[in-house]
Structure 1
Amino acid sequence: MATFDAHPEVPPKDASTVILIRDSASGPEVFLLRRVGGMAFAGGMTVFPGGGVDPQDADADVAWSGPPVSWWAERFGVDEGRAKALVCAAVRETFEECGVLLAGPTADTVVADTAGYAQARKQLEARELSFSEFLARENLVLRADLLRPWANWITPVGEGRRYDTRFFVAAAPAGQIADGETSEAAEVTWQTPAQAVTDWIEGRTMLLPPTWSQLSSIGEYDTVADVLAAEPEIPVILPTLYQEEDGSWQVRFPGQEPYYAAGAHPWGER
C-alpha cells in the first residue's frame, strides 16, 4: 500500500466553508451546491458554500457584532489576524455563492432581502469590490454571532491544490433565499443530511470525506437550535491518501469506516 506524495511541497491555503441549516418537518436541512464539473478543485462534487480566504479579508475594517476576534482565534487555534480573515471569508463566500448575507443594518438585525445587492455580489465574486467596502457602503454590520465554529479539515498532502478549511454552521436568515446564482454552481438544493447521503450512496452525487463527515454530524441533531447550541471539539483533521492493490486511490481519515462501508467510490485516478 503506497502513500501519495506527488505534490508534497504544496502548502495549504486558508479557506472557510459555511453549513447553512434550516428546520423542516424531517429535521434540519442543509444547503448544498454541486460544483461545475470543469473546476480545478472538487469539480463536480456536492459541497457546502465556501472558498479560499482573500488577502483583503485579513485587512477588512468592518463593523462587527458577536464574539470578539480573540474568541474565534482560540476556538480555531490561530492568531487573531487569521481568525478575522476566516470569519470575514465565511460571510463573504456565503453571500457570493448563494446570496445569503449574514449582516444587518444594526448589531442585532439581519437584512431580510438581499436582491438589492445583486450587482455588488457580482462585483465581489469578480474581486472588483472588497467585502469591507461593500459593508461600509451599505452601512451593514457583520453578524459573527450568527456563525458557530464546527470543524477543521486540511486537504491531504500530495494534492496539487490544498486548503486548510474551517467549517462554520449558521441558520439561514428568515426572508433570505439561498440560490445558485454563481459561476461555480451547476445546481443547488436543500436536503436533510440523510437525503444527501442517500443520493451519494445511490450514485447521484459525489461527496468528499469532509462533506460526508459534516453531513453525518449535523444529522445527529433534531433541530437547528440544537445544532447552534452544540460546542463540538475541533481537532485538525489531515487525511492521508494511499493506493490500494488494485491501483485505486483512497483516503484515510478518522471515522472512515461508515464512509467506505456505504460504498464510497475510489478517490480517483492520479
Structure 2
Amino acid sequence: MKHPNDGYGTVERQESSDFPPAIPAATVVLLRQNHSEPEVLMLHKNQEIDFGGLWVFPGGRIDNDDFNGTSDLNIAARNAAVRETIEEAGIEIPSDDFIWFSHWTPPPREGRRYATWFFLTSTEDEHEIRVDGQEIQNHQWINPRHALQRHSSGEIDVVPPTWVTLYTLAQFASVEETLTTLKSRATRTYETHLGKDTDGARITMWAGDSGYEDWDATQSDETHRLIMSPDGFDFQHSAVEY
C-alpha cells in the first residue's frame, strides 16, 4: 500500500527518459526567532487540491513571467519564490538574502511532478500572514522540532522533502546558527529513488545510500534514506552529515 505521506507511486525502478520532465518550482523556507527558539512558516493546503491536506512551505511552479527578461532558471526560481509567498501568505520577502540550500526532484512517474528550488531566508519584522481560505486554509509559525513531533503523532501530514527540511532545521538552536551553517554548505541535490525494505516499508533514497543506484532498499551498509513505515518516518543518514 502506498504510504499516505508520500505521493511517489510505484517502487519499481523508473527511467527519467520514459516520462515528461519535472516541472520547475520554488519554495521559501522562512524563519523567525521567537524568544529562545527559531520558528518556520508553514501553510495548510486545502484538502481538495493538489497536495491537499499537506502542511507545506510557501511556493509553487515557476511561470514564464518569473523569467522577466532573463533565461537564467535560478533567477526565475527566486522570482517565483517571492511571488508565491505573496500569493499564498500575503507577505513580500526580498530575495537578496535567499540561500539556495537544497533542490528536490521526485522519482520519475506519470502525472505532474515538480523539481523544486528550496530557498532559506529569515525575517525580523512582524508580518500579518494572510491566507485566502481557499487554496490555503491555515498557517502557523512553528518550531521545526515541534512540527516533527506533530507529524510523528499524526496531527499533520508532510511529504519527504518537507520532513527532511524540518529535520535539517531542527539541528540548530537559533535562526542565526541555521543561516550561518546552511550558507556555508554547498546546495544539496536530492534526486529521489524509491524502494522497499525487507519489512515492506516504503523508502526514499538519495545519493550516498548503498541502495540508491540500484533502487534497492535492502542494501543498507551506508544510508541516506527516509523509511516511511505506518508508525512514522525514520531518517537514516550515515553517509551524509546533518
Q: How much does 1:244 deviate? A: 6.4
Give 1:264's match in structure 2, choosing from 215, 233, 237: 233
* Map of 2:237 onto structure 1: none
Matched position secondary structure for 2:49: coil
- Alpha-carbon distance between aligned partners in 2 of 1:100 and 1:60, rounded to the nearest angstrom: 24
- Alpha-carbon distance between aligned partners in 2 of 1:34 and 1:253, rounded to the nearest angstrom: 27
Gaps spanning 5+ residues in structure 2: where?
1-9, 208-223, 235-242
Q: Over residues 152-189 of structure 1, what are the superposed CA-to-partner deviations in whole Å (9 max), with x where a residue is unaligned?
A: 11122115111110101111351322232363212211
Q: How much does 1:262 deviate? A: 6.8
Q: 1:51 to 1:23 in 2, by over 3 A?
A: same
The total of aligned residue pairs comes to: 206
* Map of 1:45 onto structure 2: 54
Q: 1:26 to 1:175 in 2, by over 3 A?
A: closer
Q: Which structure has more helix as a fraction of its residues? A: 1
* Map of 2:6 onto structure 1: none
Say whether residues 1:3 and 2:21 are aligned partners. no
Give 1:158's match in structure 2, choosing from 109, 120, 127: 109
Say whether residues 1:253 and 2:206 are aligned partners. yes
Give the structure-1-normalised TM-score: 0.67
User: What aligned pairs does 1:1-270 form with structure 2 within 5 A after superposition?
Assistant: 2-3=11-12, 5=14, 8-40=18-50, 42-59=51-68, 81-102=72-93, 143-181=94-132, 183-230=134-181, 231=183, 232-242=185-195, 249-253=202-206, 255-257=224-226, 263-264=232-233
Sequence identity, in percent?
28
- Alpha-carbon distance between aligned partners in 2 of 1:233 and 1:184, rounded to the nearest angstrom: 33
RMSD, aligned CA: 2.9
Give the structure-2-normalised TM-score: 0.74
C-alpha contact (below 8 Å) 2:195/2:203 kept by paired residues: yes
Q: Which structure has more strand as a fraction of its residues? A: 2
- Alpha-carbon distance between aligned partners in 2 of 1:212 and 1:159, rounded to the nearest angstrom: 23
Q: Over residues 71-95 of structure 1, what are the superposed CA-to-partner deviations in whole Å (9 max), with x where a residue is unaligned?
A: xxxxxxxxx6112101111111111
Q: 1:145 to 1:14 in 2, by over 3 A?
A: same
Greater RCO structure (CA 8 Å; 6+ sep) = 1
Matched position secondary structure for 1:204: coil
- Alpha-carbon distance between aligned partners in 1 of 2:83 and 2:31, rounded to the nearest angstrom: 17
